[in-house]
Chains A and B, each alone.
Chain A
Amino acid sequence: MSVFEELRSVRSAKSQGKRDNKAAFFFLLPWLLGVVLITAGPMLASLWLSFTNYNLIQTPDFIGVQNYVRMFNDPRLLNSLRVTFEYVFVSVPIQLVVALAAALVLDKGMRALPFYRSVFYLPSLLGSSVAVAILWRQIFGQGGLVNQALGLVGLHNLPGWISDPQFALGTIILLNVWTFGAPMIIFLAGLRQIPDMYYEAASIDGAGRWKRFLRITLPMLSPIIFFNVILQLIGAFQSFTQAFIVSGGTGGPSDSTMFYTLYLYQQGFNQFDMGYASAMAWLLFIIIAIITAVTFVTSKYWVFYDN
């Protein structure tokens, strides 16, 4: 069961048998401390800080909703939202389509499956590292690998992709697509679960390849698609390292790779404007919560549960 199905079923679960309150308390003690000290406490604190002006040195100064008002009048922040949305809503669909396509090709009794699976999965593990971001910065730079390769086929005077505001974000989107291996593995596991007899029955009824994909594979896989969509969306909204390294921490050129998290980092840990950074964090939280909720609500129209 995935996290989301757990959430769905947790409401209906009835507790049974005798209770072990004392034992449970001790087993959960580290986690409980974590919830209070590391999660819930700081969450409430950051909610309060978001209504203050605070620079770490002076005591926080309560200023009401001013930080929130300021956000909606901050052109750089609004731009960072636009950049982030573009990144999320372009890279996640492409990444998932590639992941699904690769899984479909690999699924049907393909030889050397473990080999391909490993090769395609490896970038997912390396993709968030600084080293790969450095590599990306070279590859898509003026004299980088991409332009060297294009030079070999006669294309010259190409832009430095990462220093051109038109293309810089695209290179980071490509980096995210490159890490399609993780969702691919989840798709592969999901495909294995679809009973062969469905396909056999459909073939007997004369359904072609395409029809079988539309009528069997997609509906049967929809819970897995849903799962991947939510996870990748949440993850993509929080992307940071790639934009930070590729742009040298600036979000440039011309703020074209200024991810929301990068702007938050600059406000909080360069300017030490902790009140504003907290307000920004809460806005991010609200945006992610709304998008997750919308995906959940619409899921009943497109996610098919086989029970």
Chain B
Amino acid sequence: MDESGTDTETVNGAEDQAHATDEVERGEEREGQESDEQHEYETEEISYREALRRALHEELARDERVFLIGEEIGIFEGSYKVTAGLLDDFGTKRIREAPISEEGFVGLATGAAMTGLRPVVEIMTINFILMAMDQVVNHTAKLQYMFSGQVGCPMVIRTPNGAGSQLTAQHSQNLEGWFAHVPGLKVVTPATPADAKGLLKAAIRDDDPVLVVESLPSYNLKGEVSQDPDYLTPMGQAKVTREGDDITLIAHSMAAQRSLQVAAQLEEDEISAEVIDLRSLRPLDMETVARSLAKTNRALCVDEGWATYGVSAELCARVQDACFDDLDAPIGRVGMAEVPMPYAKNLENATLPHAKKIRAAALAVLGEETDPEEWRAG
């Protein structure tokens, strides 16, 4: 177990973590700014997909214990091309093609993590992780605790959620809340290219099992990303991506991007909306949320997934407890219509938590009624 020459690497890992902590502190000092700027490194505009690819490339190069395993991640370069070129650069030993066997290879990766490696598993989409649910929830999440910390589990499962391309009921889900429910797991949900790189790298360097839920509809989204090979986004820290005074839109993953669009529209209605991108669901940064609500006094939880028993349900419970005296209105929430995703384009549009629906929901929190005919169709 401990023969894999890992001691030195662990020390390096600790240094990296220390580095991340520095960044946390600096981030706090410059709150509200685009705070992830590095002194020596330039930023570059790249896609969310490319940001993920670079994170994987850099971490594979940095730590030989890291290996990737998943379906079609080698010759095929990944179902969504996130692993493009990695097989050429790192070979078949580090880029492990797996059969269509999620329970098997998630369990194998967990066993490898228990014995000194640092696996990064790709599950083609979050819908297929259900095949591995027993491994993730009953094994990966619990093993450190069950054995009182005698066995570690430094592993990452990365998988995209999302909907909107007529992929229908079995391929259009946002199930990250299921995993954020489980002690022992960490769940991060990057919404931007910068965080796609920073959170994936932080997850790979973390000593716990981390589910990195990527946004499939955002893979082509472009943004400025640092070229720093040690660029990390700290877990458990939300980001205020737009400041405002009248209402706070709390969101994660693609909903955080969409909330920014809605906030811009609301400005035309002379409503000043603040937007919080949670970035991390477990740990969850409630301090940033509470601070925002002390200012805006109104909240709308925006989620790509179903609201019932979902991430927004958790947020509502915590906000009413933490911010009861600050609230001027009931907390609103908006998510995907609670139906399995239909195929027909018009029905799919109506099911998604699209901008018109989010805007109407925000207006409702502010006490303004809207005509459902204006937003129902999407």
A interacts with B? no
